[in-house]
Every structure is written in structure tokens, then in C-alpha cells.
Amino acid sequence: MILCIETATGVCSAALCDEKRVHGVSEAPPGMSHAAQLTVIIQQLMKEYRITATDLDAVAVSKGPGSYTGLRIGVSAAKGIAYGAGIPLIGINTLAAMCSGYISRHPDDLRPGTLLCPMIDARRMEVYNAIFAADGTRVTETSASIIDKNSFSEFLAENQVIFFGNGSGKCRGIIAGLNAFFRDDFSLSASYLFIPSVNAMRNRQFEDLAYFEPYYLKEFIATVPKSFFPDKPE
């Protein structure tokens, strides 16, 4: 059994799967703190299926890109469980997990030549993204892109491209063309780590617990509101 953890965006969820299927999913209520809820939903899930950490074969975690704080919370929890139970840790690219989830949920959207572009909001007009073929094969590397009217034009010229994820909504109306399609009903879930984590388990693609860090892609920059600073004296 593999415990899957997803905290890369506003969604905080956990899932249990084996090589054949997802057995159960537990998700925190929207708007709740990942730090406060992640341990709770993991405990609820494992209690429901009457297993403990020592019954697990591995822990899989969505490693990024995504929210700096969310990734740090998820990876820290996954490393702690893996270390405590003496089991392998699997890190899954968040965009690859999104792609896998889309393929399993919306197979009727896919036709020969269709490309998938999962997007995660990176603030303002920037999104984390990558292009995948309809079978899940990666076409481009993960990147942080500032979206304008020319974004993805080389792909849209020849292929239908489906944009989805919490970063896609703000791109609607900017990315134009008959081949651009947007899915607004897609939300991340730990269950989407199922196929990538099973493949990693089979291929023994494990992370080094001592050195594994989230894939932030961009450096974290803390900002301080202007109101924090007192007005200068005249």
C-alpha cells in the first residue's frame, strides 16, 4: 500500500493506493490550513482502512512546483512518515500528477495529437506549466512562464491544447485560437499520484531521505506590507 500526499496548491489531500487501484481519499475542507489538517486527514484515512505506517510499502508526495508553504508541509510530513516507518519515499512532479489525473478523468477529451497543459498559479500572470502528450509523455520541461498572447503559439498552430489547473483561468482570453481549450472543473487530488507512484515503485525510483527537497522552481521571496514600516518623521 502506498500513502499519497498532495499539498502543492490550495488542496490538501491524502490517498491510499496499491498497484491496482485507489482505495480511499481524504481531503481537508477548503480554506483550512495545510499544517493543521494534513496530519488529521492522514490519520483519518489510515484509521478507516485499519492500517498503520508500518503496513505501508512507500510514501508518495507531490514535490512541486507549487505553493512554497504547501510543498514544505507535504514533503516534511512524507519524509517523517517514511523515516519513522523505514519505507521508501517517492517524489512526484505535481504537473505530471495533474496530467495523469486528467487522462484518467477525461479520456473522452483526448484524441490523436491532443496536448495537455497543466497550469499552477504562480501569481500575477505567471504560471508553472509543462506540455504533455495525450498518453502522458512529457513534451516540454517544467517552467515558470509569464503568459501573453503568443504563449504556446507553436503548439496551438498544429495541435489542440487543453489548459487546466488553478492557473488556467486567468489565461483564458489571453491565450486565443481555435485549438485552445480550457477546463474549469479540474481540482488537484492525492489520488492523481496513483499511476506515477506505482510506476516509480516498480522502477524503484526513490528519493534520498537525507537530501530530498521540494521542487520549488522559483526562489521564495518574502514580502512585507508597506504598512509594516512606520512613516518617516518630517
pLDDT per residue as tens digits for the range 59-92: 999 999 999 999 999 999 999 999 999 999 999 9
Whether 60 and 122 share a structural domain: no
Strand partners, 162: 116, 181
Same domain, 82 and 192: yes
State yes or no: pLDDT of 44 exceeds 50: yes
Mean pLDDT over the full length of the chain: 93
Say if residue 70 is in the same domain as residue 130. Answer: no
Is 216 part of a structural domain of the chain?
no
49 located within any domain: yes
In the structure, what pLDDT confidence band is assigned to residue 217 with cuts at 50, 70 and 90?
confident
Has residue 215 been placed in a domain? no
Q: Which residues contact 87 (CB under 8 A, 6 or more apart)?
A: 53, 56, 57, 58, 59, 81
Question: Above 60 in pLDDT, residue 226?
Answer: no
Mean pLDDT of all residues in 14-42: 94
Percent of the chain with pLDDT over 70: 93
142 and 115, same structural domain? Answer: yes
The answer to whether 2 and 60 are in contact (CB under 8 A) is yes
**One domain, residues 54 and 138:** no
Q: Are 99 and 177 members of one domain? A: yes
Distance in angstroms (rounded) separating the CA atoms of residues 191 and 105? 11
pTM of the model: 0.91
Domain carrying residue 28: 2-94+188-202
- In this structure, are 133 and 196 located in the same domain? no
- Within-domain flag for 157: yes
Percent of the chain with pLDDT over 90: 87
Band (219; pLDDT cuts 50, 70, 90): low
Confirm whether 111 is domain-assigned.
yes
Give tens-digit pLDDT for 138-153.
Answer: 999 999 999 999 999 9
Domain membership of residue 140 (yes or no) is yes
Residue 39: CATH number of its domain: 3.30.420.40
Give the cell for residue 64. Answer: 512541486
Q: Are residues 14 and 80 in the same domain?
A: yes
* Whole-number Å distance between alpha carbons of 89 and 59: 5
Residue 168's φ and ψ, nearest 5 degrees, are: -80, -30
Same structural domain for residues 66 and 100? no
> Is residue 112 located within the same domain as residue 90?
no
On the 0-12 / 13-18 / 19+ scale of CB atoms within 10 A, 109 is: middle
Using 50, 70 and 90 to split pLDDT, how confident is the model at 222?
very low
Q: Residues 29, 84: one domain?
A: yes
Is residue 233, in this structure, part of any structural domain at all?
no
- Average pLDDT (46-52) is 96
Q: Is pLDDT at 232 greater than 90 in this prediction?
A: no
Within a domain: 219: no
Q: State how many domains the chain has.
A: 2
How many angstroms separate the most distant Cα atoms in the chain? Answer: 71
* Average pLDDT rounded to a whole number, residues 43-47: 97
